[in-house]
Structure formats: structure tokens, C-alpha cells
Chain A
């Protein structure tokens, strides 16, 4: 198996099983980090 696929699947399921929306602080953190990205993937 391509390394990481099974672990990735388990990881994604665990995040989803324990899903809770982002807090205001977490959203702020992502906003700051996104401002530092030079070339986001989209738009292409």
C-alpha cells in the first residue's frame, strides 16, 4: 500500500468522529496562517 494511506484514513475518520466546529481562536489562527501563504492552490 502506498505509505500512509491506511493511517490517513484512520486519522480522517477519527477527526470526523470527534468533529466540532472551529472555535473563534482556531479560525483566527487559520486566518493568520492563510495570510502567509504565497500561492494558494485555488484559483488555478
Chain B
């Protein structure tokens, strides 16, 4: 499978990554099986966060034998220095590792989020300290909002952005174009999520996929086109 460079980090990752939410609420045995399968297929990027419930605890034993061979990403919703430091410490403990490769500000949604992150005693101070201490290697952020993302990119030279990029929103509304353009200018690593998202869930309709809050594409044919669409953008991975 193709590998692509992750911005200026020097890392090369397979174009398919593993979202830790997959192992949330699964048994240890099942988590081990699917992680083993991912490793077998060559996947070397794993992403997790405390907001995925018990995913860190489920991922850790499954990933233990392969830790040195994989790129481990984690995220925090905390916006203060103290909160982010505490959460990073807890994540490292749960993941039983001395560092994560990429640590990200999770779900930066509003300008208020951005202001809090960069304020005195804000979470960025904890990230920078953690990087100096080699607890994290790279700094990135995840977002679902273009304006907040553009603001983040103005404020700091991030290594990566994790952003929803899919054909339905891109072609219908242009959503994501400004982000890819800006991230490319800055030579950031672009990690795509929600490549298979199609439309909002309709109120009152049954939710088919437990861990999905949107309606994904419904046929393999469309899913294949959707995945290839996102991989055709200059994303490094999804």
C-alpha cells in the first residue's frame, strides 16, 4: 500500500489509518483481533483520545507488541495548560507508553476554543512543554470547522491537521477546499476523516451505525468512489 509523507515531519504513513473509536466498547479479545488485522495489513497510524470512552484501555494491550513500529496519535479536548497536562499524563499511563508521536487539540470548533488554547495558561503551553520533554513529538489539531481551523493555522506552525474531507460536502458546498489550500501552503500533514460521510442524519430515522453521528454512503460502489475521491486530494492519510 502507498505511503505518503506527513508534512515536514519526515514520517511516511500508509494512506489508511486506524481510528481508535473502532475498539471503543469492544472486548479485549475483539480489540486485539482487529488491531492485529490492521497491523497485518501494514497500517502504521493509530489515533485515539480519552473522549472515545474506553478506547485507550482497549487499544493499549492490543498495540503493546507493536508500539515501536507504529505512529501513535492522541488528542485532548482540554483547553487549559493544567487540564491538557493532566490529560496527557493520563493518556500516556493508559496507553502505557513514554510518548505519543502526535498530540492534537481535539475538536477546535470556535474562535473561543482558539483563544483559550493560545491564552496565557492555555493548553498550548502544556503542549510546548511536553514536546521539550519528549512526551510528544509533533503537534497538530483536529477540527470540523473551517474558520476555526484557518485561525489555528494563523496562530502556529502546526505539523498536522485532522479534518473531514469528503466528496459530498466538498462538491456540494466547497467545504474543505480552503483548508487543504492553506495546509498545503504551510506544508502540513493533512489527515482526512469522515471520507464516507454523505449527509446529516434525518430526525426520527433509525441510526444504522452505532458509532456514526452522520449518514455515510450506503453502497460499496459509492463508498469506493468516496474513498478514492478523498485519496485523490493531497491528503496524507485517512
Contacts and interface: CB of A to CB of B under 8 A. Distances in A.
A36 to B, nearest CB: 9
Interface in B1-43: 1-2, 14-16, 22, 26, 30, 33-34, 37-38, 41-43
Size bracket, chain A contacts: 20 to 34
B103 to A, nearest CB: 24
Interface in A1-19: 1-2, 5-6, 9-13, 15-17, 19
A13 to B, nearest CB: 4
Contacts, number: 112
B37 A9 contact: yes
Interface stretch (B47-55, B89-97, B221-229): B221-229
Interface of A: 1-2, 5-6, 9-13, 15-17, 19-22, 26-27, 29-31, 33-35, 37-44
18 contacts: A2-B26, A11-B220, A11-B223, A13-B41, A19-B228, A21-B228, A22-B225, A27-B229, A29-B225, A30-B171, A30-B226, A34-B168, A34-B172, A40-B168, A40-B199, A42-B176, A43-B146, A43-B169
